[in-house]
Structure 1
Amino acid sequence: MKIIRFLLLAALLSAFMPMSFARDPLVLPPHLSAAKLQGSGRLTWWGLHIYDASFYRVGSLSAPEFALDLRYQKSFSGSSIANRSVEEMKRIGISDSQAALWGKELTSFLPNVESGQTLTAIYTPKQGTTFYYDGKQIAQIPGTEFPKAFFGIWLDPKTSAPKLRAELLGQTCPPPLFNEAC
């Protein structure tokens, strides 16, 4: 009888504990091995847990390199991820024509994801944005305009997920790529 009460009490207490999620450490390319977690959060939509996001910075907070890691909790097709990315880019001010071009490029390489799988995007000046699927490189998009739009989905003040933005950035500013005054 004591064991049953203990288990019931443990179950009741766990219902009131704050939700957290365990993360495997992000494996980054050697030149980014000094990256440190700046912030993490969870995206939910209508109560559904979509993904856990982690934002990494390399070196100081003024360093230009950074990474965003998304661990999906639902299954999505690569094309639906690309389409949603395009919609979010347009929401923060990217033109329809530019968003359509980037959408085609994203659709060409974004894979279908299952629960537990990760997509990671890393920005490095002079190289652009490199994408990884479960730790394996899948694509690279050069330049600085694409990362402003793509990472802006999470880091721009006009994001559709301001709570997640705050969790990712913590008490610090966005990367210098965004030229946002703090």
Structure 2
Amino acid sequence: MKRLPVLLLLAWALLATARAQAWELVGEARLTFLFWPVYDSRLYSLDGQYREGQRPLRLEIQYLLDVEADDLVSRTVAEWQHQQLQHPRQQEWALQLATLWPDIREGDILAIELDEAGGNTFYRNGQRLGGVEDDAFGAQFLAIWLSPATSRPELRLALIGND
């Protein structure tokens, strides 16, 4: 009877490892502001290739400084405005992000996974945070980095493997 919890834990660990190994790196980039490094980002797909609109995708951002959750939400909204991305639920999305995202500390990894159906899940340091309940959100969120209209085209090119 004592072996059952151990076996279940082992099976869960193997499943988690197999899932993590399914992602292949597409590209990576560092964002700097003036001469300060802000974050390192990595884009993953199942085959290591990026095609516009493809799913599933995973974007990881490892922060190289502390960032408050409110600042992350504000920057997200500012990037949508920069790209003139509009959606009737954007304000609601921002409110959901404000409750979903924690303050970030140097070294933390914030990741988002988009599934085949367009659903999204955020993770902080491997721990599931939840997602925004709207299938349109994921594509618009990833557009911050992956759209040709991004404010950081050099970052985009490195992420999609065209640097």
Q: Would you say the 8 A contact 1:86–1:102 is kept in 2? A: no
Gaps in structure 1 of 5+ consecutive residues: 1-27, 173-182
Larger Rg: 1
Shift of 1:127: 5.8
Shift in alpha-carbon separation, 1:102–1:34, aligned structure 2, 3 A: same
Number of the residue aligned with 2:153: 162
Gaps in structure 2 of 5+ consecutive residues: 1-15
Q: Distance in 2 between matches of 1:58 and 1:29?
A: 15
Deviations 1:103-155 (A, max 9, x none): 11110111101111110000002361100001000012244311121000000
**TM-score normalised per structure 1:** 0.72
Other structure's SS at 1:114 match: coil
Shift of 1:102: 1.3
Question: Which of 90, 102, 121 is 2:112 aligned to?
Answer: 121
Q: Distance in 2 between matches of 1:82 and 1:29?
A: 31
**TM-score normalised per structure 2:** 0.80
Number of the residue aligned with 1:106: 97
Other structure's SS at 2:162 match: coil
Shift in alpha-carbon separation, 1:36–1:60, aligned structure 2, 3 A: closer
Other structure's SS at 2:89 match: helix
Question: Which of 141-150 and 154-163 deviates more?
Answer: 141-150
Superposition RMSD in Å = 2.2
Deviations 1:64-108 (A, max 9, x none): 211000000010111110111111122222237533221111101
Number of the residue aligned with 1:54: 42
Q: Distance in 2 between matches of 1:87 and 1:29?
A: 36
- Say if 2:56 is the partner of 1:68: no
